[in-house]
Structure 1
Amino acid sequence: MKLIIEENEQKMSESAMFILLGAMMQDKRVNIFLTSGRSPKILYEMMIPHVKDQEKFKDIQYYLFDENPYIDEEHGPNWNEMQDLFFKEAHIPNERIHIMNQDNWQDFDNDIRHAGGIDVMIIGLGYDGHFCGNCPRCTPFDSYTYCIDFKEKQAVNPSYKDRPRQPFTLTMGPKSLMRVHHLIMIVNGKEKAEIFKRFLDEPIHQDLPATILKLHPNFTVICDQEAASLINPENYKRI
């Protein structure tokens, strides 16, 4: 794992953007995973002018790695949020955006392998240590993409609020992420400092499922100084 601590959220986002744009410059079909949420907001704002209507990026394929489908609706909240955060402003056509749904999730991993695999993936660190849709105490560490009933997640995480219109979660599991060529986690803000320290210091365990990602062979973690405020960077330098 390579840890990069940047001065602020702007610098963190800039570093992540350079990695993404570098991967996107390859002379082939490039597949990238993007995340919704608060952490990548500035990253996407910075990327849009570089990507919008650029012929050199016409072969880029975008994937979303989890979804909480609404009953009787075509798209869930992750699709909708990513449209607002990035895809609409960057003029990314829907046919180049791939997301799992009730019909295709069982074939999602094989479809990605047949498309050449994922070149680079951006993820965040959840406030409770979750990643993608992999939540505490209900993440099968030996899983590829899977479906989980929301009530099962709620039973072991009582703080999760009811979602009657979203009865289940579809998500890529840990084994799916281990296939990604370059995995990048971005973490920012003081409110993430405690869970970030735990993620770095604790062994792999179900109460903090993101710890499993430390096994990834090409894993870069980029954070700002606020998120790193409780750690001593010297403890995480490579020997």
Structure 2
Amino acid sequence: MRIIKARDYQDMSQKGAAVIAAQIIMKPDCVLGLATGSTPVGIYEQLAKGYRSGALDFSGISTVNLDEYCGLDPRDRQSYYYFMQEHLFRYVNIRQNAVYVPDGSNPDEKEACEKHETIIRALGGLDLQLLGLGRNGHIGFNEPGPVFEKETHRVALTESTIQANARFFDSPSQVPTHAYTMGIGTIFKAKKILVAVSGEDKAQAAAQAFRGPVTPEVPASILQFHPDVTVIGDEAALSGISDL
């Protein structure tokens, strides 16, 4: 695991985008696993900037998103499909039929999850997976629990995750209580993993995930066992790790 300390959010975003840009340049038909939330927004802005400058070409890549809220149509402004359109896809030359997000509108849990896994396998797996880090150590929507979930599954969101995501909704009562998410096993199969972490409120989770014991109570801690993980965090997020 490589941990890179950035000065601030902007620096973290630039460094994170550089890792993804290198992957696209080295393999123009790569498969990228993407994340949502406030942390990767700056990374997506930098990638769009790279496209506008002519440095990046997205026409050959495919993307697969980590997760989606259950019960939301892709056209819903709070859906993660909509998020990706607004923060990246509409600004680059990606093929719209090459972007995949779990179908949150499908009430059939088994069908929705199996379809997402089938898509990943059909694409040949993930070349690079981008992750954020939840305040309780979750990745994707894999919440703390007794075991590491293997494949895409439906999960009940913890109260802390619901409260953290409430800022994107008009009121906490509107935040969905369940989501479809790639499992830890699916994430772990990615050839490379990039974790972006920002803010003092993530410092404890980062220290536990990257320097603490490996336990499903801190889902991100399993990344310590992956052969190719790069963590890029700003000074505030990495302030709890003393050996950097």
Question: Is the 8 Å Cα contact of residues 67 and 181 (structure 2) preserved in structure 1?
Answer: yes
| Matching residue within 149, 154, 164 for 1:147 | 154
- CA shift digits 1:44-95 (9 cap, x unpaired): 1111022259684311112111111325x34562112222221223354421
Q: Which amino acid aligns with 2:152?
A: T
Larger displacement relative to structure 2 (24-33 or 215-224): 24-33
Is the Cα–Cα contact under 8 Å of residues 134 and 171 in structure 1 kept in the other structure? yes
| Partner of residue 98, structure 1 | 100
**Structure 1, unaligned runs of 5 or more:** 235-239
Verify the 8 A CA contact 1:119 1:180 in the aligned structure 2: yes
What letter is aligned with 2:215? H
Identity of aligned residues (%): 23
Distance 2:66 2:148 in 1: 16
CA contact (8 A) 2:31 2:63 kept: yes
Once residues 27 and 143 of structure 2 are traced to their aligned partners in structure 1, the CA distance between those partners, rounded to angstroms, is 36
Residue correspondence of structure 1 range 115-130 to structure 2 within 5 A: 115-130=123-138
Q: Distance in 2 between matches of 1:135 and 1:8?
A: 27
Structure 2 gaps of 5+ residues are: 164-171
Distance 1:220 1:83, change over 3 A: same
Report the more deviating stretch, 208-217 or 157-166. Answer: 157-166
What is the identity, as a one-letter code, of the residue corresponding to 1:11? D
TM-score (norm 1): 0.84
Contact 1:53 1:90 in 2 (8 A): no
Per-residue CA distance 1:188-225 (angstroms, 9 max, x = gap): 11121122112223212232211122221111111111
**Shift in CA distance, 70/118, structure 1 to aligned 2, threshold 3 Å:** same
Q: Give the superposition deviation at 1:10.
A: 1.8
After TM superposition, give the deviation of residue 125 of structure 1 in Å.
0.5
- Tell me the distance in 2 between the aligned counterparts of 1:9 and 1:165: 26
Q: 1:36: Cα distance to partner?
A: 1.0
For normalisation by structure 2, the TM-score amounts to 0.82
Per-residue deviation, residues 94-133 of structure 1 (Å, max 9, x unmatched) = 2121112234421322322221211111111101111101
AA in 2 matched with 1:67: E
Is the 1:174–1:213 Cα contact (8 Å) retained in structure 2? no
1:114 aligns with 2:122: yes
1:26 CA displacement: 3.3
Alignment correspondent of 1:3: 3
- Residues 70 and 165, structure 1, Cα contact 8 Å, conserved in 2: no
| Alignment-mate amino acid for residue 231 of structure 2 | V
- What does residue 237 of structure 1 align with? none
- Give the whole-Å Cα distance in 2 for the aligned partners of 1:9 and 1:220: 16
- The answer on 1:226 being equivalent to 2:236 is yes
